[in-house]
């Protein structure tokens, strides 16, 4: 059960998505051509009378690391995807750049006037790692609206109440710096601890909230003192301090202490971008909001497993749900590459290749019509790589490309043996393995 195929007419107007079998029939009879691989989209060759379009609903489950996307025709899920963000990579790259720039103070370089005191942030400013998350979702919403007749958006609009997580007794004037939306502590703990027992890693079993430092020993109800435990571990631990309970497992004890003190980064990411995303999508199409509790209620009511795209499908009001796909598209934001022209060593100095500076001045990102990151089909007629290979290409000025496939990297593939399948667009694609969606 694969995703439905998007169809546009000869004038590039979206039509009703069709099943993969119907799409194969049109391609076999040469009545349509493929115009895009991800998401798979075909275009009809001949003009047709405008059919009655079935309204589609786009549902979103925004997350700090992965956003679930689902397209529904009534109560039937016909297309789904998981969009993986690269916010953490952006933050890591900015931190690395900052450290390299700071080392200029101890190197023999020209003096640069400090500029930290003349910067201002406009209203609604978002950090680059958060802005990427917001823009990626916006890009894919516009892309899906371009290829399918989507008439409505349903978005899960939740707020993690970080103050309530830290102190359950907070009230009144203590909320001057935030608003209470009552997001359950238990749901946050499930996300934080990976939905498994912190003491034995058991998953798929009922989990109980446990105090790392027991309340009878002076422990608090702060989120940093709470974890998840299965019934067996919770009973075995009782009111023992975690140091006594895990005195024979020092590695697990260090892990629990580290996890407990982790900041609420994921919650802050969702809170910071939710209204910016909602306002932007509202300008595109009519939009409805839903709560995280309603999404979880629908998922448990239908007996579905926990997946981002399934959560997106369960967003909003639902009386029934039918899945016409169980293999969502996995989309990973990979970026467009680096701006730096040379690789730096650990001290921040450039590492030149054997050709020297002259090679860097003439290097072009496009060689023989290909760009690094394009998905190509390499049909090698002879040699040790003989056969047909599908993967991402790394271009060279010599014309001997590298093609990275799921089975490994193939080196020195001539450009004349490569055929472009999908041009680089800042994302990498794969498919979720077919599996059951029912608990």
Instruction: Map 132-180 to HEC letters.
Output: HHHHHHHHHHHHHHHHCCEEEEEEECCCCCHHHHHCCCCCHHHHCCCCC
Please measure the distance between the N-terminal and C-terminal CA atoms of the chain and give it in whole angstroms.
Answer: 18
Phi-psi region of 18 (alpha: psi -120 to 50; beta: other; left: phi over 0): beta
70 and 150 together in one domain: yes
**Number of domains making up the chain:** 4
Cβ–Cβ < 8 Å for 141, 281: yes
Q: Is residue 239 part of a domain?
A: yes
How high is the pLDDT of residue 353? 52
Closest CA to 424 of 386, 380, 379, 367: 367
61 and 196 together in one domain: no
249 and 383 together in one domain: no
How high is the pLDDT of residue 419? 92
How high is the pLDDT of residue 45? 92
How high is the pLDDT of residue 275? 83
Cβ–Cβ < 8 Å for 168, 161: no
Q: 3-state DSSP call for residue 363? A: coil
Q: Is residue 151 part of a domain?
A: yes
Q: Is residue 32 part of a domain?
A: yes
38 and 155 together in one domain: no
Q: Report the distance separating Cα 427 and Cα 433, nearest Å.
A: 19
How high is the pLDDT of residue 370? 92
Q: 3-state DSSP call for residue 84? A: strand
How high is the pLDDT of residue 4? 95
- pTM for this one? 0.75
Q: Is residue 104 part of a domain?
A: no
Cβ–Cβ < 8 Å for 195, 203: yes
- CA dihedral 97→99→105→110, nearest 10 degrees, is -10
Positions of the chain with pLDDT under 70: 105, 107, 111-118, 158-184, 262-267, 339-343, 348, 352-363, 434-435, 439
Q: Report the distance separating Cα 284 and Cα 396, nearest Å.
A: 41
How high is the pLDDT of residue 263? 61
Q: 3-state DSSP call for residue 439? A: coil
283 and 212 together in one domain: no
Q: Report the distance separating Cα 142 and Cα 88, nearest Å.
A: 24
How high is the pLDDT of residue 258? 83
Q: Is residue 121 part of a domain?
A: no
How high is the pLDDT of residue 363? 62
How high is the pLDDT of residue 101? 75
Tell which of 198, 228, 260 closes a domain. Answer: 260
Q: Report the distance separating Cα 38 and Cα 95, nearest Å.
A: 32
284 and 397 together in one domain: no
183 and 152 together in one domain: no
Cβ–Cβ < 8 Å for 169, 222: no
245 and 295 together in one domain: no
295 and 236 together in one domain: no
For residue 12, give its domain range. 6-44
How high is the pLDDT of residue 206? 87
Q: Is residue 394 part of a domain?
A: yes
**150-156/56-61 β-pairing:** parallel
Q: Is residue 37 part of a domain?
A: yes
Cβ–Cβ < 8 Å for 71, 81: no
Cis link prior to 336 (omega < 30° from 0)? no
How high is the pLDDT of residue 173? 40
Q: Is residue 438 part of a domain?
A: no
224 and 362 together in one domain: no
């Amino acid at each position: 059960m694969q995703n439905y195929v998007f169809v546009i007419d000869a004038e590039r107007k979206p039509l009703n998505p069709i099943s993969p079998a119907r799409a194969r029939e049109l391609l076999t009879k040469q009545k349509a051509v493929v115009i895009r691989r991800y998401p798979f989209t075909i275009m009809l060759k001949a003009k047709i009378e405008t059919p009655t379009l079935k309204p589609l609903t786009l549902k979103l489950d925004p997350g700090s690391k992965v956003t679930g996307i689902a397209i529904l025709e009534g109560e039937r899920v016909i297309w789904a995807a998981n969009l993986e963000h690269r916010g953490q990579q952006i933050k890591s790259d900015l931190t690395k750049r900052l450290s390299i720039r700071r080392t200029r103070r101890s190197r023999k370089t020209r003096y640069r006037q400090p500029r930290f005191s003349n910067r201002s942030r406009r209203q609604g400013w978002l950090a680059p790692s958060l802005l990427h998350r917001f823009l990626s979702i916006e890009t894919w919403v516009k892309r899906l609206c371009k290829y399918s007749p989507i008439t409505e958006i349903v978005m899960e609009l939740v707020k993690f109440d970080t103050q309530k997580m830290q102190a359950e007794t907070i009230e009144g004037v203590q909320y001057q710096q935030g608003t209470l939306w009552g997001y359950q502590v238990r749901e946050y703990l499930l996300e934080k601890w990976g939905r498994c027992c912190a003491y034995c890693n058991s998953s798929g079993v009922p989990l109980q909230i446990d105090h790392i430092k027991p309340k009878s020993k002076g422990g608090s109800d702060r989120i940093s003192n709470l974890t998840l435990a299965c019934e067996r571990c919770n009973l075995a631990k009782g009111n023992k301090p975690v140091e006594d309970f895990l005195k024979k497992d020092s590695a697990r004890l260090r892990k629990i202490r580290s996890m407990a003190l982790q900041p609420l980064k994921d919650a802050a990411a969702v809170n910071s971008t939710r209204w910016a995303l909602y306002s932007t999508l509202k300008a595109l199409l009519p939009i409805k909001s839903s709560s995280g509790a309603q999404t979880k209620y629908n998922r448990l009511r239908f007996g579905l497993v926990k997946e981002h795209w399934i959560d997106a499908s369960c967003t909003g009001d639902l009386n029934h749900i039918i899945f016409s796909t169980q293999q969502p598209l996995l989309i990973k934001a990979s970026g467009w590459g680096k701006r730096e022209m040379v690789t730096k060593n650990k001290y921040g100095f450039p590492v030149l290749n054997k050709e020297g500076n002259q090679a860097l001045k003439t290097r072009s990102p496009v060689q023989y019509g290909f760009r690094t990151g394009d998905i190509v089909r390499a049909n090698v007629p002879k040699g040790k790589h003989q056969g047909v290979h599908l993967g991402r290409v790394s271009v060279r000025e010599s014309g001997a490309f590298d093609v990275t496939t799921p089975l490994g990297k193939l080196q020195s593939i001539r450009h004349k043996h490569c055929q472009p399948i999908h041009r680089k667009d800042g994302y990498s694609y794969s498919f979720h393995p077919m599996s059951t969606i029912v608990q």
